[in-house]
Chain A
Amino acid sequence: MLSEPGHYDYMPWRRRPKITWPNGARIAFWVAPNIEHYELDPPPNARRMPWTRPQPDVLGYSWRDYGNRVGFWRMADVMARHGVRGSVSLNVAVCDHYPEIIERCCTLDWELFSHGTYNTRYFYGMTEDQQRAVIRENRETIKRASGQALDGWLTPAISNDETTQHLLAEEGIKYTLDMLHDDQPTPIKVRSGHLISIPYSLEINDVPLLAMRNTPPERFAAICKAQFDQLYEEGTESGTVMCMPLHPFLIGQPHRISALDDVLRHVVAHDKVWLATGREIAAWYTKDHLAEAQNWIAAGTP
């Protein structure tokens, strides 16, 4: 067993090389809707059961299914109204099950990246070849359904195994979201190839907040706005990243959708915000700031 991921170096939150974003923005703000399919009758995994109740878990299944039937459409409308694009953390089987959803995402000029095939197929215990096969198939499916390249990755339920990040780099993935160690992009160390991390979030993610921590919608909005305000302020020193991960089955509920509206209205009312996609953040950081960060680490983070 590994005592740590071993994929990143210590980078104290002071005197880092300054990150600048396009047009003098202080913060790169990106929204990552998790568009998922949880299978009605998935196979078991030794490290995690897909459902908490015996299958079929009708309540669990239908709650998630609500996201694709109802929540997604409501969420997408609110985002479009504020001019905020999504970077979709996509269970790519959605391309086969619900092409209507993919079509809507493409119309809105959203990025699609992979969140595995199904959210009920964990990476725990897969061989490297099995993982590679999933990554390659996901790339082909996204290409076929949208014409887009596959640049980003979030392992389903963050179920990555010890070598997953190495395989992502070897398969040409450009950015990973499996690590939550920072408020800025960072270099990721892999055995071959290149990979960076850009900030995802489990702090302002609607699953931990709404489903696990019992947060009412108004407080959810206040937390998101507080997160934004702090990172916007800190962005005067060096550019920060705020990711807002969403799950349509939660945020797309009629009693919660106004909280999303409230947060996005707050964000777009600021002028030094770069409304980006994951791919755009990764490309900008890799081009302008990655080498500088690596040099700073090599110099001992003076």
Chain B
Amino acid sequence: MKGLPEDYLQYPARRRGMDHAIYPFRALPNARPVTWPNGAHVALCIAVHMGHFPMDMPLKPFIAPGGMERPYPSYWDYTLRDYGNRIGVYRLMQSLAARKLPATALLSAVLAQRYPALMDDLAAAQWEIACAGLDMGRLHHSGVPRDEERATIQEAAGLLRARFGTAVRGWHSPAHSESSHTLRLVAESGFSFTTGWANDDMPYVMTTEAGRLVCMPLSQDLSDQRMLHQQHLATEDFTNAILTAHETLDREAQETDSGRILVVPITPWLMGVPHRIRAFNAMLDGIMARGNIWPATMGQIADHWVAQNT
């Protein structure tokens, strides 16, 4: 038997720290302490995944969570996702406005063209707009030629900046998927922060050939997409998990004398349905009852972190 090639047992990136040059290793206890406005323990960021799922979206190299899982033409999948952008997001807007909580929308840029009335309502609600690519059918992965990926990012940024201007400075790659060029192309397109790497509770800096990006925390482990859509857990399993995370982060903030960040990743077609919105409201009330929070957009949290880390 021939066995594996010689280089299979060679480890060129084996060294102290990361096996790449995008960012250095940083253990959480060694992160520089940060303070939030009014001495808040926890910055609260509601991150809303507002995706558009084309009915003819490619199913390879993988189907984004919420993508067309049934045979074409899947009215089932398409219309349930679209429900989120017609109805669910309005319930979320109402819940957050009633509690004076800001939000950051991770938005498929094609929605700016498709649903201008929704864009007006997001602007009126003062939600931060971050760009989540063109749509959920245009995933970023290593099979996409670099020039094509650059054009996709520029088109998406252009669509949202045409409507919301320079306030669009955050990026999220759809379905947390990237190629090895994505970060550089995102920096090149004028974004100052990105979110989607699931490796930290606190921001850190990524270095690309086109400049720096602040990487903001965004969990997939603790998200309604994973817990409710993929794992089929009960609504309360998700909302209780958020409350438990908040309790832990609040305690750590007190023990370490450093602010923490609670990102709540939610999805209109999941959390905005009638049978879940009351549990969502109760969860928000539970977070607010604990107190010592700083409700902020992802961009505001990034700014405060950068000001204390440069």
Contacts and interface: CB of A to CB of B under 8 A. Distances in A.
Interface of A: 1-5, 10-14, 47-48, 124, 158-162, 178-183, 202-204, 212-215, 219, 223-224, 226-227, 229-231, 234, 242, 300-301
Contacts of A179: 75, 79
Contacts of B118: 10, 12
Contacts of A226: 274-276, 278-279
Question: B56, B117, B274: which has the most chain A beta carbons within 10 Å?
Answer: B274
A5 B71 contact: no
Given A183-B274, A226-B274, A14 B121 contact: yes
B78 A227 contact: no
Contacts of A47: 71-72
Contacts, number: 100
A11 B118 CA distance: 9
Interface in B120-141: 121
Contact of B87 (A124, A183, A204): A183
A20 B246 CA distance: 42
B290 interface: no
B102 to A, nearest CB: 19
A223 B228 CA distance: 13
26 contacts: A1-B55, A1-B56, A1-B72, A3-B54, A4-B54, A4-B78, A12-B90, A158-B70, A159-B71, A160-B75, A162-B73, A179-B75, A181-B80, A181-B82, A181-B83, A181-B86, A182-B86, A183-B87, A203-B80, A203-B274, A213-B232, A223-B235, A223-B275, A226-B276, A227-B275, A301-B117
A161 B75 CA distance: 9
Interface string B245-278: 0000000000000000000000000000111111
B23 interface: no
Nearest to B91: A13
Contacts of B82: 4, 181
Contact of A12 (B56, B76, B117, B276): B117
Contact of B90 (A1, A13, A181, A223): A13
B21 to A, nearest CB: 39
A301 B114 CA distance: 13
SS class of chain B's interface: helix, strand, loop or mixed? helix
B115 interface: yes
B274 to A, nearest CB: 4
Interface of B: 54-56, 70-73, 75-76, 78-80, 82-83, 86-87, 90-91, 114-115, 117-118, 121, 232, 234-235, 273-279
Report whether over half of chain A's contact residues are helix, strand or loop; otherwise say mixed.
loop
Nearest to B114: A10
B86 A203 contact: no
A206 to B, nearest CB: 14
Contact of B86 (A3, A5, A10, A219): A10
Nearest to A45: B71
Nearest to B84: A181
A179 B117 CA distance: 22
Nearest to B57: A3
A204 B273 CA distance: 10
A219 B274 contact: no
A162 B71 CA distance: 12
A176 to B, nearest CB: 10
Nearest to A225: B275
Contacts of B121: 12, 14
Given A12-B86, A12-B117, A5 B275 contact: no
A48 B83 contact: no
A204 B75 CA distance: 17
B275 A3 contact: no
Given A1-B56, A12-B117, A13-B86, A180 B76 contact: yes
